[in-house]
Amino acid sequence: MGKKTTVSPMVKEALSNLFARPATSKYPFVKAEVPEGFRGKQVYDISLCISCGLCSRDCPAKAIEMVEVDAKRRPLFHLDLCIFCYQCAESCPRNAIKSSALFELASIDKSNLVVHPQASAQKGSGVQQ
Ligand code: SF4
Ligand code: SF4
For residue 48, the domain's CATH number is 3.30.70.3270
Measure 11 CA to ligand 2 centroid, in angstroms.
59
Query: Which of 47, 67, 97 best tests ligand 2's pocket when mutated (most atoms within 8 Å of CB)?
Result: 97
Identify the residue whose C-alpha is closest to ligand 1 atom 4: 82
Please report which confidence band the pLDDT of residue 125 belongs to, taking 50, 70 and 90 as the band edges: very low
Over residues 25-39, the pLDDT tens digits come to 899 999 988 999 999
Over residues 46-80, the pLDDT tens digits come to 999 999 999 999 999 999 999 999 999 999 999 99
- Structural domain of 104: 33-123
Residue 22 inside a domain? The answer is no
Measure 3 CA to ligand 1 centroid, in angstroms.
67
What is the value of pTM for the model shown? 0.80
**pLDDT for position 126:** 42
**DSSP 8-state secondary structure symbol assigned to residue 109:** -
- In Å, what is the CA distance from 113 to each residue of 29, 39, 47, 101, 126? 24, 16, 22, 16, 15
* Count of structural domains, the chain: 1
